[in-house]
Amino acid sequence: MTVYDYGIIGGGPAGYSAAIYAAKLGKSVVLFEKDKIGGTCLNRGCIPTKTFLHRADLYMEFKAGVKKDIYRAAELGFSFEKISDEKETVCNNLRKALELVLKTMKINIVPYEASIAGSNKISANGEIYECSKIIAATGAKPREIKGLEFEGELILSSDDMLNLKQLPKKIVILGSGAIGIEWARILSAFDVDVTIAEAAPNLLPLADIEVSKRIARIFKKAGITFHTDCSVISADRVNKTVTLSNGETVETDILFVAAGRSKCNIQTTDDVTVIGDCAGEIQLAHYATCQAKNVILGIPYNKELIPSVVYGEPEIAWVGKREQDGEFKKVLLPITALGKAQCDNCTEGFIKILVEDNKIAGAHIISKEASALIQQIVIAMQNDIPVEKLKEVCFAHPTYSEGIFEGLMRL
């Protein structure tokens, strides 16, 4: 029997990253994945939704251009089926590339469901694999709500949404976390009537309060209906309606339950290391990669400095403390102040920086390229760079990045 240095259950970002890092160290690795390499992120989450968002943003920009008589079209439309096919192509290409990397690094991929069979043992497809170290990275799945269980017709999960070939005319989205917000943007851009029900007092409740308020303003402008302090009480499959806790009954083709994700449990022993979404901590692909990096390479990470990004137009990103978390010195620079934003006709949003003891304590950005901008802030915070030192940095012009510089110079 071959004894592997590492046995890894789950081929998502946590699992495949751990496998690659271990193989680079010259370790022998067996990786178990019963579904598709890449996990939720590549196959049912980050990548496919960003493909939809890209096309939605282009369509929305073109509609705006036609309205201003910048672009001219005899007929303005789209094929959602072809967009969906393109999404599949993107995912397939990335998955094949990842599989090739794993195989090139001589990682043994076992395409079967696996379970812990005792100390240092993994069972899969009737075979036992001996492993010096075992890592469980089995991911998470869409969370169901009692009485609103997924049935694939009226009540859909995020997995179901990605399998749509035709768009609904009306949809109710339960939850306004990253998943709910991104799908609301996709569907609204493609002319779907969107209603959101959010149990918290504000949209995107984990965000800074000013970000939540701006999202509400953006959604009102886009014609997206939303109800806060509100949940879905029941769904009528026959009449295709949902009843909200505020007493309203809403007609809908789909009730999309975007109420978070539940970790996929696996029976483990004391010598098994659990990472990724199934660890029940921060359910983000890049956090899972940090965990893998820490477990295999011993490289530490700061859990307080994990950036969050919500995609769409404009992007939303944040890191560190929120304004409601304490007393801070703050600056808020409107994106309209940036020349590049005016050139791009992307003037919605702001760059907000919170400072404590002359160090950045948090940053909250709504802007085109916010996903890239927040990383500059993370690097500054990770390295404990004082604000006065950051003012010495030369930022290129015209860019969105200089918004960080302009904000710092106002402190």
pLDDT single digits (tens) 361-405: 999 999 999 999 999 999 999 999 999 999 999 999 999 999 999
> ω before 300 within 30° of 0 (cis)?
no
Tell me what pLDDT residue 277 has.
96
Give the pLDDT band (50/70/90) at residue 269. Answer: confident
Condensed to tens digits (0 to 9), the pLDDT of residues 187-224 reads 999 999 999 999 999 999 999 999 999 999 999 999 99
Cα separation, 352 vs 109, whole angstroms:
45
pLDDT of residue 295: 98
| Comma-separated ranges of CATH 3.30.390.30 domains in the chain | 307-409
Q: Does domain 144-259 have CATH number 3.40.190.10?
A: no
Polymer length of the chain: 411
Q: CATH 3.50.50.60 in the chain, residues?
A: 3-141+262-297, 144-259
Closest-CA residue to 257 (of 279, 223, 278, 234):
234
Please give the mean pLDDT across all residues of the chain: 96
**Are 339 and 328 spatial neighbours (Cβ–Cβ below 8 Å)?**
no
pLDDT in tens, 299-358: 999 999 999 999 999 999 999 999 999 999 999 999 999 999 999 999 999 999 999 999
- Percentage of the residues of the chain whose pLDDT score is greater than 90: 95
Which of 73-87, 93-107, 172-186, 339-353 is predicted least confidently?
A: 73-87
Which among 171, 174, 169, 181 has a CA at the least distance from the CA of 148? 174
Q: Helix (H, G, I), strand (E, B), or coil: what is residue 83? A: helix
Q: What is the 3-state secondary structure (H, E, C) of 228-288?
A: ECCCEEEEECCCCEEEECCCCEEECCEEEECCCEEECCCCCCCCEEECHHHHCCCCCHHHH
| Greater pLDDT, 233 or 270 | 233
The tokens describing 143, both together, are: 């969370």
* Band of pLDDT at residue 76, cut at 50, 70 and 90: confident
pTM (2 decimals)? Answer: 0.95
What CATH number was assigned to the domain covering residues 307-409? 3.30.390.30
List the structure tokens of 357: 């003891």
Question: Is residue 230 scored above 90 in pLDDT?
Answer: yes
Cα of 209 vs its chain's centroid, Å = 20
Q: Report the C-alpha gap between 67 and 98 in whole angstroms.
A: 42
Query: Can you point out the beta strands (E) in 148-260?
Result: 155-156, 170-174, 193-198, 225-228, 232-236, 241-244, 249-251, 254-257
Spatial separation of the C-alpha atoms in residues 387 and 159, rounded to whole Å: 43
Separation of alpha carbons 236 and 226, rounded Å:
20
What's the whole-number mean pLDDT along residues 175-181? Answer: 97
Asked if pLDDT for residue 1 goes beyond 80, the answer is no
Which one, of 279, 366, 389, 194, lies nearest residue 18 by Cα? 279
Domain 3-141+262-297 CATH assignment equals 3.50.50.60: yes
d(CA 310, CA 203): 12
* 196/204 Cα distance (integer angstroms): 11
Q: What is the pLDDT of residue 36?
A: 97
Question: How many Cβ atoms from other residues are within 10 Å of residue 304's Cβ?
Answer: 11
Supply the pLDDT for residue 2. Answer: 83
**Residue 394 has what DSSP assignment?**
P
Q: What is the pLDDT of residue 372?
A: 97
Q: Mark 70-98 as b/e (b = at least 16 C-beta within 10 Å).
A: eeeeeeeebeeeebbebbeebbeebbeeb
Query: What integer pLDDT is reported at residue 92 of this predicted model?
Result: 97
Residue 74: the pLDDT is 81
Q: What phi and psi, each to the nearest 5 degrees, are found at residue 140?
A: -145, 170
